[in-house]
Amino acid sequence: MKRPCLLPFAVLYLAALTASSQDYRPRYHFTPPQNWINDPNGLVYHDGQYHLFYQHNPFANQWGHMSWGHAVSTDLLRWEHLPVAIPEFTEGDKTTAIFSGSAVIDAGNRRGLCPPGTKNCFVAVYTGNVTQGDRHLAQYQNLAFSADGGRTFTQYAKNPIVDIGSKEFRDPNVFWYEPEQKWVMATVKAIEHRAAFYESADLKTWRFLSHFGPTGDTTKVWECPALVRVPIQNESGRSSGNQSRWVLFISAGHPQPGYVGMQYFVGDFDGTTFRLAPENPKPIAPAVTNVVDWGKDYYAAIQFNHLPASQPNPIMVGWTNNWAYAGSLPTTPFKGAMSLPRQISLKRTAEGLVLVQQPIAGVESLREGSGGNGPFRITLSNKSQSFENQPDNTYELTLDIVPGTAKEAGVRIAKGKNQETVLRYADGKLQLDRRRSGNVGFHKTFPSVEEAPVTPQNGVIRLRIFVDKSIVEVFANDGERVITNQIFPGEAAGGIELFAEGGTAEFRNVTVWPMKNAMK
């Protein structure tokens, strides 16, 4: 008997598998064409383009062979993928992986790193992570330069530029320090929980300035520092610039043990030392430092260098993932995504100078149609009301909640049979509950409830919720609190439902905008 040919079925099956896992691919958050990514690196604006480099394994959908992947954009939202910019390299039996770092532009190639005649020299400063077989030998700071606008890089012949003989010394964050016309580099001594600052006039020779830490959350290694001058809302004119503070971001800090996240410190940097300012917000609880994002999935964020005048506030991008389960994400052929670019500021509140993060204004250009569905207003007493179905799970939802007498009020999103992701306000806290958000079983640390303290302002909690397949970013009270989480809902789980329990709550300005696919 002739055996049936199984090939077409196998192909169909594989196609179906790929299609369903592809379906977790965000449409307006950055993802690589394929394979693994983690931290954003070398964020810089140059000649009309924003550059996003990122930790990347060019060969597999898991961490390894770290190199800098590369993409460019004119609006920070629609990205063009480019070839790997800085690949891992081998000399003799030693391999140098290109760990995280930053990029600056040496205008006019004045420091002469690039060949003579180069208009602007693109300079990347990264951590060389050196191994020999299975042995980990060193971490030090290296430099590479590009004369073709960041497309290809040459390793600096006199690397390393900063070496302290450590294996846990990484993630150089370099920026131009205007008052003293010099470059400053923030790095971390990861297991000592210390940031170390350096200065340089030529990017080649660096001088140690000072340390900051240990302080704050020291239960996790410190990674990816970012030292950024941040304007204070309603007090700053860009020209005077005196109403600002320096904010030191450290990747390490989450209210829940075992999960990495980010903490921030508000202070002053005088070109040599970073000191906490009196208005550094008091910790909400003894074990909780100033949390950047109360979700599980925002890490390693750094700022863009050399932003154009049209962007008066610093802009940061983070990796929407958590090392606790990053390697197990159920996505193929890629793993990892970036947050929406966030514009940051400080706001004077009773707590002190609080970090405010908002999606860049351009995000509104991704809204499909003029007004989406809404605005819609409803009062609910002890009941739920299905509001819409967005089976694509790619939308922005805005709503204001007046919690009233309700014990709990909120919205269920990505709702389907036996699954939902719940955003609820109860007892002065905003919770994002992904315990039943679909595919949660791929790692035991994934199902979780996040909780951020949120105070209604004039009785209202304002919410902007971005849902993008497997990413949920919640901006509460105009960005005073942010919760970012991944979810992996099933195919038909696109329901949106408002609810009030234990009393009456009102929902105002409820609007859903389907979002455009920015990846086309």
Minimum separation from the CB atom of position 250 to ligand FRU (A): 11
In the DSSP assignment, the letter for residue 3 is P
- Between 26 and 172, CB nearer to ligand FRU: 172
Q: Site mask, ligand FRU, residues 104-133, x = CB under 6 A?
A: -----------------------x------
> Is 99 one of the binding residues for ligand FRU (CB under 6 A)?
yes
Which two tokens mark 362? 């351009």
- Between 280 and 305, CB nearer to ligand FRU: 305
* CA-angle at 505, arms to 504 and 511, nearest 5°: 145
> Is 171 one of the binding residues for ligand FRU (CB under 6 A)?
yes
From candidates 43, 123, 300, 406, binder to ligand FRU by CB under 6 A: 300
Return the CA Rg of the chain: 23
- How far apart are the C-alpha atoms of 503 and 381, rounded to whole Å? 5
> Is 189 one of the binding residues for ligand FRU (CB under 6 A)?
no
- How far apart are the C-alpha atoms of 253 and 264, rounded to whole Å? 9
Which two tokens mark 101? 């770092």
Minimum separation from the CB atom of position 63 to ligand FRU (A): 7
> Is 196 one of the binding residues for ligand FRU (CB under 6 A)?
no
User: Phi and psi of 9, rounded to 5°?
Assistant: -65, -40
Which two tokens mark 161? 């530029």
Minimum separation from the CB atom of position 33 to ligand FRU (A): 19
How many other β-carbons are positioned within 10 Å of the β-carbon of residue 385? 12
Whether the CB-CB separation of 464 and 475 falls below 8 Å is answered with: yes
39 among known catalytic residues: yes
Q: Which of 39, 293, 400, 433 does the annotation list as catalytic?
A: 39
Minimum separation from the CB atom of position 175 to ligand FRU (A): 18
Whether the CB-CB separation of 277 and 353 falls below 8 Å is answered with: yes
Q: Is the dihedral of CA 425, 431, 434, 435 positive or negative?
A: negative
> Is 254 one of the binding residues for ligand FRU (CB under 6 A)?
no
Q: Which residue has the tokens 């009270």?
A: 477
Q: What residue type is assigned to position 406 of the chain?
A: A
Q: Site mask, ligand FRU, residues 24-63, x = CB under 6 A?
A: --------------xx---------------x--------
DSSP three-state, residue 237: coil
Size of the site for ligand FRU (CB under 6 A): 12
Q: Which residue has the tokens 């030191």?
A: 248
Q: How far is CA 261 from CA 1, 205, 217, 296, 356, in A?
A: 61, 32, 10, 7, 17
From candidates 43, 77, 125, 224, binder to ligand FRU by CB under 6 A: 224
> Is 400 one of the binding residues for ligand FRU (CB under 6 A)?
no
Minimum separation from the CB atom of position 432 to ligand FRU (A): 22
Which two tokens mark 512? 């859903």
> Is 173 one of the binding residues for ligand FRU (CB under 6 A)?
no
Minimum separation from the CB atom of position 39 to ligand FRU (A): 5
Beta bridge partners of 67: 56
From candidates 96, 100, 331, 437, binder to ligand FRU by CB under 6 A: 100
Which two tokens mark 304? 């863009």
Where in the sequence numbering do the catalytic residues fall?
39
Binding site for ligand FRU (CB under 6 A): 38-39, 55, 66, 99-100, 127, 170-171, 223-224, 300
